Amino acid sequence: MGNVFEEIVGLDKLIHEPARLAIMTILSTVESADFLALQRLTGLTSGNLSVHLSKLEEGKFVTYDRKIVGKKTKTQVKITSEGQQALEKHWLQLETFREKVKETKSD
């Protein structure tokens, strides 16, 4: 077995970034979320949230739908099946990494 700490390099950096991990985790628990709810839950500014959502959309991990309601834009964001799979893989990698570190520590 190679150096267990080298495995952390294999984590998906698109998801691993804390703000995007928060967004993906929130979206994995709901059918969809509106932009303002995501902003409130993550504490991100609207500009910062937009940038992170754009990156996740480029990675095909989320989709979003913009509609004009009255004079306001309403944006609904949804995790894709590819995004859900990537998030599950990410959590599994972290759990596996944690267990291997525990094993290394007890040796």
Predicted model pTM: 0.88
Phi-psi region of 13 (alpha: psi -120 to 50; beta: other; left: phi over 0): alpha
What does the pLDDT read at residue 48? 98
CB 4 within 8 A of CB 104: yes
What does the pLDDT read at residue 106? 65
Residue-range domains of the chain with CATH: 13-101 (1.10.10.10)
pLDDT in tens, 68-100: 989 988 999 999 999 999 999 999 999 988 888
